[in-house]
Every structure is written in C-alpha cells, then in structure tokens.
C-alpha cells in the first residue's frame, strides 16, 4: 500500500505522519496543517489564511527567530522585555487572549502575542 502522507516541505524527507489535523516530520520537527480543499489552502501568497502573522504582516512558522517591536512588561515581575530583543526558535500555539507564540527568553519561558514581534 503506497504512503499517501506527503514528504516534509521543509527537509524533503518522507518519514512523516498525520497527527490530528496536522502532518508531523519527526526528522526536522516541522508541523504543517492537513488541508483537504483549496478554498482553505491559500490566499494567493502560498500561506494558509489562518497563519500567525507578525507586526508587519509576515507569516510566522515554528522555529523562526523574531525581534520585539516594543517593550513588554512581564506580569508578576518587575522585569520587562526590551524592544529589539531577539528571540530564537519560537513555537506557534493556540494560547488564551491571543498569546500565540511560545518562546524562551532570558526571563524564562513565555507566551507572547505575535502583534508585538517581527520576523528576524
């Protein structure tokens, strides 16, 4: 029986598997949505319509590096994240209150809103 799961669009390897509504590549840890019809697939720029976008409208993906576009106060702390701070290896999540980027900073692991980030 032939494998109907597509090869990974990031690394090109065929060791991928379906997981709920996404495909997963265990080799490079890339995750992408399973899209059944072309209406939900793209809006002309090759990006899924519900993609998480940064402050400039660029689509974000797991593993991207981003830069803060404004100072952000950290709840429960007297510290803040400064504008221009570079954050590497983000992970996109469905967080509460629009917090859709999970990342590790100097102050620890945090959920941030993509509207305060720009792609590096």
Looking at residue 32, its pLDDT comes to 79
Q: Does domain 1-37 have CATH number 3.10.580.10?
A: no
The owner of tokens 């998480």 is 52
Residue boundaries of the structural domains of the chain: 1-37, 66-119
Q: Which CATH fold topology does 66-119 show?
A: SH3 type barrels. (2.30.30)
pTM of the complete model: 0.58
DSSP assignment letter at 8:
P
pLDDT less than 70: residues of the chain? 1-3, 36-50
Looking at residue 3, its pLDDT comes to 56
DSSP string, 31-73: EEE---SHHHH-SSSSS-TT--B-TTS-B--TT--EEESS-EE
Q: How many CB atoms lie within 10 A of CB 16?
A: 22
């Amino acid at each position: 029986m032939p494998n109907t799961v597509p090869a990974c669009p990031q690394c090109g390897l065929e060791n991928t598997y379906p997981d709920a509504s996404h495909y997963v590549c265990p080799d490079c840890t890339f995750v992408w949505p399973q899209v059944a019809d072309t209406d939900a697939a793209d809006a002309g720029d090759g990006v899924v319509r519900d993609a998480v976008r940064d402050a400039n409208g660029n689509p974000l993906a797991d593993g991207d590096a981003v830069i803060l576009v404004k100072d952000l106060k950290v709840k429960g702390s007297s510290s803040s994240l400064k504008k221009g701070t570079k954050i590497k290896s983000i992970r996109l999540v469905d967080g509460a209150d629009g917090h859709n980027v999970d990342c590790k900073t100097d102050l620890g692991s945090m959920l941030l809103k993509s509207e305060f980030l720009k792609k590096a």
